[in-house]
Structure formats: C-alpha cells, structure tokens
C-alpha cells in the first residue's frame, strides 16, 4: 500500500469515496466550531474532489483529505503540515477523476455548490481552485473528451484541404 510517512494513500476509488464520506461527516460535526484546521484550510484548498448524485447535488472534499486512507479530522489536524502532500494525492487519484472545466456540463452547478458549501463555514473557495469529478466505475477505464472539444476538432478538420484531411485521418487511425 502506498504510504506517505505514516499516512497511507488511497489505492482505489472506493477508498476515495470512503474518505470523501468521512470528510462530509467530519465537516457536519464541525459546524459551529472555529479555528479547526479542516475549516481553516478551506480557502487555501486548490483541489476539490466532487461526487455528483442523481438529484444534481455535489458533495466536496479536498484531494488532500480524500486521497488518504482512513483519514479523520484528528489525523488531518495532526499531519496536515508534517506528513501530507496534496501533490502525492493528486497522483494517487488521477485515474479516477476528471477535472471539470468551464463549459463542461455541470461545471457551473458544481462551482456554485462549492461556494455554498464553503459559505456554511464562513469561507470562500480559493480563486485558483479546481474541481475534479470522481468518476463512476463505468467511466474510469476510458475518459472521454468533452463533447465541445470533439465538435471543435470536427470543425477544424472540415476547414483542412482534402490532402490534409486524409493525412490527419491516417495519423489518427495509426494510433
């Protein structure tokens, strides 16, 4: 199991989901308290992991929390600046997430809901933060590009002279 000096990185998406759920429970129990590291770091978090339910709601957890196994608020408080590294969690979870970008379906709703979530604790998300959607098991094997990119590529393809279209088609087919 991958470790980071005492805390263990996740090794599958189920562990990410479990840590994400723990974060949500921990945050619910912290409402009304102040000066807790989990709350204090909300405005500094650069990478949020979102889970989307079938009612259109998103829940969030920092990748630095969700990327470790068996994480709790106490473990996070004890190890935040000592043994944990968000860059390592990003590598650990990269196969199970898709970064949401402006224009992606759901991006605006996710961003609005992240602002609402942080506001419950008197915080705002970092202006440079990104939201990554935890993919369903069915979508983890092969990430599909956003449809807008495909549409743009098709439009560019149409503007190419026939010889360049054939060359591009040949190159794509040979991959």
Range of the domain at 119: 3-139
Verify that 60 and 96 share a domain, yes or no.
yes
Q: What CA–CA distance (Å, rounded) separates 107 from 118? A: 17
Mean pLDDT over all residues of the chain? Answer: 85
pLDDT of residue 35: 52
pLDDT for 25-83, tens place per residue? 999 888 766 557 888 899 999 999 999 988 889 999 999 999 999 988 888 888 877 77
Same structural domain, 123 and 175: no
Same-domain status, 168 and 88? no
For 40, 68, 125, 133, 165, the CA distances from 36, given in Å and listed in that order, are 6, 19, 16, 26, 58
In Å, how far from its chain's centre is CA 59? 11
**For the whole model, what pTM was predicted?**
0.74
Instruction: Count structural domains, the chain.
Output: 2
Angle at 153 between CA 150 and CA 156, to 5 degrees: 155
Q: Is the pLDDT of residue 141 over 50?
A: no
**What tokens does 97 get?**
């997430």
What is the number of other CB atoms lying within 10 angstroms of the CB of residue 129? 18
Per-residue pLDDT at 34 = 57
pLDDT digits (tens, 9 = 90+) for 89-103: 999 999 999 999 888
Residues 84 and 40 placed together within one structural domain of the fold:
yes
Q: How far apart are CA 102 and CA 77, in angstroms?
A: 33
């Amino acid at each position: 199991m991958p470790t980071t000096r005492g805390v263990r990185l996740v090794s599958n998406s189920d562990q990410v989901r479990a840590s994400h759920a723990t974060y949500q429970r921990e945050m619910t129990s912290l409402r009304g308290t102040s000066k807790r590291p989990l709350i204090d770091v909300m405005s500094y978090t650069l990478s949020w992991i979102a889970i989307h339910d079938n009612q259109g709601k998103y829940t969030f957890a920092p990748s630095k929390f969700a990327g470790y196994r068996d994480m709790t608020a106490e473990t996070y408080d004890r190890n935040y600046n000592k043994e944990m590294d968000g860059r390592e969690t990003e590598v650990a979870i990269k196969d199970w997430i898709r970064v949401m970008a402006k224009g992606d379906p759901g991006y605006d709703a996710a961003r609005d809901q992240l602002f609402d979530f942080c506001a419950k604790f008197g915080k705002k998300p970092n202006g440079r933060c990104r939201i990554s959607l935890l993919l369903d098991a069915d979508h983890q094997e092969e990430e599909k590009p956003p449809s807008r990119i495909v549409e743009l590529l098709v439009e560019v393809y149409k503007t190419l002279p026939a010889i360049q279209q054939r060359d591009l088609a040949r190159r794509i087919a040979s991959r």
